[in-house]
Copies of this chain bind each other. A is one copy, B any other.
């Protein structure tokens, strides 16, 4: 599976928590969106743009659209590897693509993407700040 050519990508690994399982014995479906959030957090930190700092500067990135495909099982304590890749989506949004693999078997577990607007704390849409664009677009 191939992610679109991103401006930047970042990989983390983590284990499925017990609280993330359900009675089907695998992770509950909404956890994928919580994991995507962890992927964004670490990608932004790796870029030098920690999200907590963005919010402190008055820039919020609320989710406006999400798509998730459930491709395989993962159970409590299984080790997962997630790659997050960032691209622009139009002029005022960012898109993050995510791919989660099961480290033990190599199988894909979840693939998906989220699109985020730039807003103020009260939800008013704003243009991406220039300092954000510069960091994101700089050649690597």
A51-82 interface with B by 8 A CB criterion:
51-52, 55, 60, 62-70, 73, 75-77
With most chain B CB atoms within 10 A of its CB, the pick from A24, A37, A52, A60 is: A24
A123 neighbours in B (Cβ, 8 Å): 26, 73
Which of chain B's residues has its CB closest to A65's CB? B69
A28 neighbours in B (Cβ, 8 Å): 18-19, 21
B30:A17 contact, CB within 8 angstroms: no
Copies in the complex: 4
A52 neighbours in B (Cβ, 8 Å): 75-77
- Interchain CB contact (< 8 A) of A25 among B23, B38, B41: B23
- Interchain CB contact (< 8 A) of A21 among B15, B23, B68: B23
Given A18-B22, A18-B41, verify A66-B65 contact (CB < 8 Å): no
Against B, the Cβ 8 Å flags (1 = close, 0 = not) of A28-39 are: 111111100110
B34:A19 contact, CB within 8 angstroms: yes
Given A37-B17, A41-B18, verify A70-B65 contact (CB < 8 Å): yes
